[in-house]
Structure 1
């Protein structure tokens, strides 16, 4: 006679085995249908597809990767200085300086760190100062906001023959890395024994097609803009180096620098960063994501006002507001979408307390900005500033310091601010820079590499 306890146990075990088999089959089915297995190698990704067939998808190869493929030969036997930071990495996220030094083929005698420092530890407007790198033992010099004789003296002191520049730009004129590069080009060109400047190219993360915004006028030149390029330039850092050297360096140094740009492989102008297959390394603490980089090209302009641009929050340049703003701002901006003034953007009413920077410790009301495909962050930011100024005249102010408006330094001229003060619409603001773009695009075209 069958023991009831044994029968029950057998039934439970059978059920468990059947359930396990079903679960295994389900998991395997989902694997085949949905598998996205990423294997990052030096040259490519392998990606599982919807039908389970694995195919190879090429990565964009940065200038750093291309230089390593040459076994560092252009640097062999030279005293090399490396102008870089934490973004100067391979696809596997190993740092270029670490790999080059470990190869035994490159003699790196100095590293030069821009804003935020070589390893990226410093906040906005700061650097790391002189140090000896803990990993490599290489001396690291701070070159943030240094130019002219200060840079020339550093290059002479270290006796560099080649200066490698490997920095990830974000596609906006007021991001400081491109002006560190410009100052290095001028300094090197002005030296009796000029070192070669070798720029390792990297993608423009917000694509290389779109060119927008006003030109910088000379009276508004600062470290967030030295020369007349458009606010959104649509160029890679290597292309900018060629433009700077071809158009502006000789004016200051008497001759152009010895420039070599190591081009990328596989990059196309229409690519957003996600299409490159590369991992995003935040180039600065307040650009933690590609979405932040896209928003930055427009919402950095809020730095020229007394409104918070989201520094001190987890969503810098995507969450903006002030203590004197209320929910009416969200309603007004959604109305601009309904009227067709804005498109490809959504707004969420948001409340936040910045932990540092403007409005630190104060409860702010404003909007979280959701930029969608084909959005125009510069237009959205200008519409937001117009709404803030019109709706909250008692609270809104332009930042005014040392006889200039910071907003003018960011836009590159006073016309945009003055037009906003006069009640101009977004379309009227955009019309102000169209003639500028004709001139800039004609100049820009001579230096494009892709």
Structure 2
């Protein structure tokens, strides 16, 4: 199997010889020997690398989630690093002046909340505005390109965790998303996608021969990534999603929860492909830092029959039902972050009403709609 980075360096770079190249990447942009694309481009005699662009978490992947990152000079290459998660998320004309082409090489994790795909969208818009070329070096969707789950983001809750009407689990590679943006969202930039060779839609990341490199500080492995389209919704509540532990998005809990009772209630639901066991943990950052939380660890039994969104909504609904005086959706400046993650303002009430099963059934229509809409842009059959 060869990823887009391999193929670009083998042959496709020749189409861009003599052009000034900008690279939108971080330390997930590595080849099969774990050498960063930054180094490979910088040291290549026929690639004129003139600028770097960093997404959320920064060019070296060490900034916390949501933390603004300043533009800087990269100490290893001496190149300017323009932050796309600082003062502006869309590059200005001045930020693009040093380049003729921007090359995108980031590892996505297959869920609509993950901001790298929106950094890509904004850079595509800027390339269209200022006459720059945009190249995507394609990488696998780590949770396969087959399964799709969820609702489409509604207009009034679009944000940097849900900028376009795509489902919670989208089943696309970044190259396919770029084509979707261009043709369905009207971002008409000069786009080139360097396809992978040897990747098949049904592959999960651990079924490839690639090393897993964390896309951000809390993307700890394949199980976390499979759970994330459902358990990321917990970020919008006063439940701990396990940040500050070794198992973020797998540990779910709070000081007010009885882990044994929650595990028993969850397992009685007999959801396909998943089991819960009671756990007790102390987060070292964020929600309930330094406090004992009880809850569950979610264990994937069969990834092929598992539905992440169903799992996430079921655990939230159970906790809301079992602890009605303790459970809350988090508010900031009069708004609910949960709504941005959910892609709708309706889901909070649906959870309190115990109607998430009906919501999931209604999502099937939107999944079918998206399935048809994405079909022309699939690069791998």
Task: State whether residues 26 and 61 of structure 2, in contact with CA within 8 Å, keep that contact through their aligned partners in structure 1.
Answer: yes
Cα distance in 1, alignment partners of residues 352 and 93 from structure 2: 43
CA-to-aligned-CA distance 1:285-323 (integer Å, 9 cap, x gap): 011212111111110000110000000111000001000
Instruction: Report the CA distance between 1:135 and its aligned residue.
Output: 1.9
Give the aligned partner of residue 160 of structure 2.
Answer: 223
Q: Name which of 191, 196, 212 aligns with 2:149.
A: 212
Give the aligned partner of residue 284 of structure 2.
Answer: 355
Give the aligned partner of residue 60 of structure 2.
Answer: 119
1:6-405 alignment runs, 5 A limit? 60-70=1-11, 72-144=13-85, 146-148=88-90, 150-156=91-97, 158=98, 160-191=99-130, 194-250=131-187, 256-326=188-258, 327-337=260-270, 342-373=271-302, 374=304, 375-405=306-336
TM-score, normalization by structure 2: 0.96
In structure 2, the gaps of 5 or more residues are none
Number of matched residues?
Answer: 376
Give the aligned partner of residue 366 of structure 2.
Answer: 436
Task: State whether residues 110 and 139 of structure 1, in contact with CA within 8 Å, keep that contact through their aligned partners in structure 2.
Answer: yes
Cα distance in 1, alignment partners of residues 69 and 24 from structure 2: 14
Instruction: Report the CA distance between 1:72 and its aligned residue.
Output: 2.4
Q: CA RMSD in A?
A: 1.3
Report which structure shows greater RCO (CA 8 Å, sep ≥6): 2
CA-to-aligned-CA distance 1:121-142 (integer Å, 9 cap, x gap): 1111125422222222222111
In structure 1, the gaps of 5 or more residues are 1-59, 251-255
Give the aligned partner of residue 39 of structure 1.
Answer: none
Cα 1:321–1:215 change in 2 (3 A) is same
Cα distance in 2, alignment partners of residues 65 and 168 from structure 1: 14
Cα 1:71–1:415 change in 2 (3 A) is closer
Higher helix fraction (1 or 2): 1
CA-to-aligned-CA distance 1:384-412 (integer Å, 9 cap, x gap): 01110000011100112223221111110
Cα distance in 2, alignment partners of residues 110 and 68 from structure 1: 18
